[in-house]
Amino acid sequence: MEKLVVCPYKRPNALCRLICFPWAGGGTSQLAAWGKLFSSSIEVSSVRLPGRESRLKEPFAKDMTTIVNEITSVLLKELQEKPFAFFGHSFGSYISFAVALHLKEKYGLEPIHLFVSGAHAPNSEAFLPIKNIPLCDAEDEDIITHIQLLGGTPSEFLQYEDVKKHLIHTFREDIRVLQTFSFEKAERNIPFSCDITCFNGSEDKPHDLEAWHDLTSGDTSFYNLPGGHFYLLEPSNAIFLTKHITRCIENAGL
């Protein structure tokens, strides 16, 4: 459990668990730290994927199914005990969706709320070009340029060659995993009944958020917050997110 899930602010009496899923190339520190911003009614944890942090020596996951199966097998007991919600940013939004879909289809479990950020709906045509990114042909410097354009990585980290090399490798592997993910919505099949909230940075590239409407019979809402792709690292935005997520969870009538 501790290998996969980081929870620095444990709240065993919380009414709900908020499981966070980080972005491509990312670790657990930023989202796990949200725990101190939430009230005692919500326990926050962040998923740690193989190939990073304390799992550095483990091989990267080979595909999305492997990640979903590991997360589900480790978290299933906890998710059956208590209501839960998911928050994912970018790559993490797709993992959170894939895990939620697996839990619903196999175990009849569903988050009380799905919070997604900086990501196209997986049933959108806008998602398809991600599957065709030519990772094999991409030079390391091209990947670093892309990471710098996205923001979110302190420039001083990139001054250390070993850190830069590992970041490039992790980013490549995460995008490769994302390219193994596919979702085709069957006609008249609405996979979820929970509410979905979509967040996006106002200066980030546009994402097809409207298609999230088609994935739930619950309410879908959309929020643009000031900033680029990593708008959520701005303290003022983090406070807005945590307050809004708290309100949504508390209004779920737990």
Catalytic residue numbers, as ranges: 90, 229
Output the six-digit token pair for 75.
């978290």
- Among 92, 88, 115, CA closest to 192: 115
Pair 64, 177: CB distance under 8 Å: yes
User: CA distances (Å), 1 to each of 76, 77, 116, in order?
Assistant: 11, 11, 24
Contacts of 71 (CB under 8 A, 6+ apart): 4, 47, 95, 99
User: CA distances (Å), 55 to each of 38, 47, 48, 174, 219, in order?
Assistant: 27, 12, 8, 15, 37
Half-sphere exposure (Cβ direction) of 93: Cα atoms closer than 13 Å: 20
- Among 222, 229, 221, 220, CA closest to 202: 229
**Element of type H or E holding 8:** none
